[in-house]
């Protein structure tokens, strides 16, 4: 016989099957099981401290909760059709084991404060896995950047050649962006380090529970300050999705870069075969599907953010079943990142950079135009005029190249050592200031990023 819903007392009949099917969240919130057990064990402690159950009863409740949690984890737990969600399933499992004692567990709590607590615990654990992977990707990028601190390549704007940079500088640009993502995760973690448990449905309880002791048991920095806020808001989930959207955007741009650099028409890098996919029709193809998928996945993570925001906009204070819709976007965004980050780490670890091809692509007069104009500025020429004169020089070349200019021609242009400027190594080395593309700056940047990674961990 299927058991009744938890709230069956008031209702003249069980829910219509289609209403039950619509409302049932077990399919996705089952992944909160371990956190629901953890929060429930902490709540049993609060009931004991308030004298609602004895110490022995609290122990039996905790043991039964852990049993149910283990059974769910190993797949032996039998879910009932009437279990609406993971919270009711676990409470029912405990009651099946303990009878009347199990029925005491829900005193002073509601699924409203329970689900908010479970989700925060889940976000804490998942956020740490995602930041661990992100830090690993940063370390991978740093290693590849260090190997290529002196590798010159044409840096581009508008995907057109602009000025020489080092590959190390280019790779570290991605690392800095990811470092800000880590910082955002840390800040979000600190802000959502607040326990909602004890808020009840909206107004706490009359039972003398101590939410701050519960918070401490769960490893939260503090308990809620307003019970209505604690059950109504989902800003912590929204912030998690905002931060993951930004991270996913950064990964997308890294994916786009990899797809571009490995384009045979450019030929500056080759993905390892493990990170390419063949074509079903054209035997010669090695497609950058991994990079393309990482590029595309940001779209759905951004949509997850938008989905939750759209649910929350205009919702009056208090719990509404609408809030159940926070979980699928949250799980989807995190699950997607847990797929994309490892793939990106592997792709970057194994990508082969064609240093010669990048060096050869630096044989492009246009790349040195800015160096020439700035050399004129060094001779006292106002920049606007230097810019115009350099542009005219390039235009006047016809079929010739800058390296074909004679000493006299350079001299009459206004630069005695003009030919020396046409060298990518010189060009990047000359940009030796902090944050620039020079090999020294790449080393400095890599060390600075490593320092903040180490500080983060401690
Ligand atoms: N499954 C629900 C959710 O995820 C739990 C809270 C149910 N509360 C309620 N008042 N119906 O939001």
111 lines ligand 1 (CB under 6 A): yes
User: Which pair of tokens denotes residue 354?
Assistant: 């064609």
Closest CA to 61 of 26, 104, 28, 112: 104
Closest CA to 169 of 449, 446, 390, 386: 446
What pLDDT does residue 4 have? 72
For residue 201, give the ligand 1 atom closest to its CA: 10
Task: Tell me the average confidence (pLDDT) per consecutive run of 10 residues in the chain, 458 residues long.
Answer: 68 90 97 98 98 98 98 98 96 98 97 98 98 98 98 97 97 98 98 98 98 98 98 98 98 98 97 90 86 98 98 98 98 98 98 98 96 97 97 95 95 94 97 96 98 93
Residue nearest to atom 4 of ligand 1 (CA): 324
> Can you tell me the distance from the alpha carbon of 205 to that of 256, in angstroms, rounded to the nearest whole number?
53
* Polymer length of the chain: 458
Contacts of 180 (CB under 8 A, 6+ apart): none
Helices assigned H by DSSP within 159-283: 167-191, 211-217, 227-232, 235-261
What pLDDT does residue 1 have? 37
37 lines ligand 1 (CB under 6 A): no
User: Which pair of tokens denotes residue 113?
Assistant: 């404060």
**pLDDT single digits (tens) 406-422:** 999 999 999 998 999 99
Name the β-bridge partners of 165: 153
Assigned fold of 15-103 = Fumarase C; Chain B, domain 1 (1.10.275)
What pLDDT does residue 283 have? 76
Residue nearest to atom 7 of ligand 1 (CA): 111
User: Which pair of tokens denotes residue 389?
Assistant: 């004169």
Specify the CATH number for 111-206+221-355; select among 2.40.50.140, 1.20.200.10, 3.40.50.2300, 1.10.10.10: 1.20.200.10
What pLDDT does residue 199 have? 98
Going from the Cα of 111 to the center of ligand 1, the distance in angstroms, rounded, reads 6
Q: Where are the domains of the chain?
A: 15-103, 111-206+221-355, 363-440
Catalytic residue annotation = 158, 279
What pLDDT does residue 3 have? 63
237 lines ligand 1 (CB under 6 A): no
What pLDDT does residue 191 have? 97
Assigned fold of 363-440 = Ribonucleotide Reductase Protein R1; domain 1 (1.10.40)
Residue 131's CB: how many other CB atoms inside 10 A? 21
What pLDDT does residue 232 have? 98
The preferred substitution site among 8, 112, 237 for testing ligand 1, maximizing ligand atoms within 8 Å of CB, is 112
CA angle 39, 41, 43 (to 5 degrees): 70
Name the β-bridge partners of 270: 352
For residue 323, give the ligand 1 atom closest to its CA: 12
The preferred substitution site among 15, 111, 315 for testing ligand 1, maximizing ligand atoms within 8 Å of CB, is 111
């Amino acid at each position: 016989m299927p058991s009744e819903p938890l709230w069956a007392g008031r209702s003249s009949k069980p829910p219509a099957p289609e209403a039950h099917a619509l409302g049932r969240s077990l399919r996705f919130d089952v992944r909160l099981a371990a956190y629901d057990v953890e929060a429930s064990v902490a709540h049993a402690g609060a009931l004991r401290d308030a004298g609602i159950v004895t110490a022995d009863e609290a122990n039996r409740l905790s043991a039964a909760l852990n049993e149910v949690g283990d059974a769910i984890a190993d797949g032996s737990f039998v879910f009932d059709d009437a279990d609406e969600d993971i919270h009711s399933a676990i409470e029912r499992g405990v009651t099946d084991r303990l009878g009347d004692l199990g029925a005491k567990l829900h005193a002073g709590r509601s699924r409203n404060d329970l689900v908010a607590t479970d989700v925060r615990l889940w976000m804490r654990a998942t956020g740490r896995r995602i930041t661990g992977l992100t830090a690993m990707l940063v370390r991978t990028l740093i290693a590849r950047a260090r190997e290529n601190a002196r590798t010159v390549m044409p840096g581009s704007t508008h995907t057109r050649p602009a000025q020489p940079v080092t590959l190390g500088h280019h790779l570290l640009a991605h690392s800095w962006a990811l470092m800000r993502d880590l910082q955002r995760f840390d800040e979000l973690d600190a802000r959502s380090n607040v326990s909602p448990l004890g808020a009840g449905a909206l107004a706490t309880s009359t039972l003398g529970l101590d939410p701050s002791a519960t918070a401490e048991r769960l490893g939260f920095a503090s308990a809620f300050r307003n019970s209505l806020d604690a059950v109504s808001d989902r800003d912590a989930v929204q912030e998690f999705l905002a931060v993951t959207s930004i991270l996913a955007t950064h990964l997308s741009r890294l994916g786009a870069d990899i797809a571009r650099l490995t384009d045979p028409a450019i030929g500056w890098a080759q993905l390892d075969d493990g990170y390419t996919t063949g074509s079903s029709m054209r035997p010669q193809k090695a497609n950058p599907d991994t990079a393309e998928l990482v590029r595309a996945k940001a779209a759905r993570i951004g949509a997850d953010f938008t989905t939750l925001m759209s649910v929350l906009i205009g919702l009056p204070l208090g719990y509404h079943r609408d809030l159940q819709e926070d979980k699928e976007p949250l799980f989807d965004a995190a699950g997607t990142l847990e797929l994309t980050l490892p793939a990106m780490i592997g792709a970057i670890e194994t990508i082969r950079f064609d240093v010669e091809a990048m060096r050869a692509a630096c044989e492009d007069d246009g790349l040195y135009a800015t160096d020439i104009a700035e050399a004129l500025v060094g001779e006292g020429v106002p920049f606007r005029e230097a810019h115009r004169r350099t542009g005219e020089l390039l235009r006047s070349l016809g079929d010739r190249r800058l390296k074909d200019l004679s000493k006299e021609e350079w001299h009459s242009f206004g630069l005695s050592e003009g030919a020396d400027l046409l060298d990518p190594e010189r060009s990047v080395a000359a940009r030796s200031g902090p944050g620039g593309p020079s090999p020294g700056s790449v080393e400095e940047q890599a060390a600075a990023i490593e320092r903040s990674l180490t500080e983060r961990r401690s």
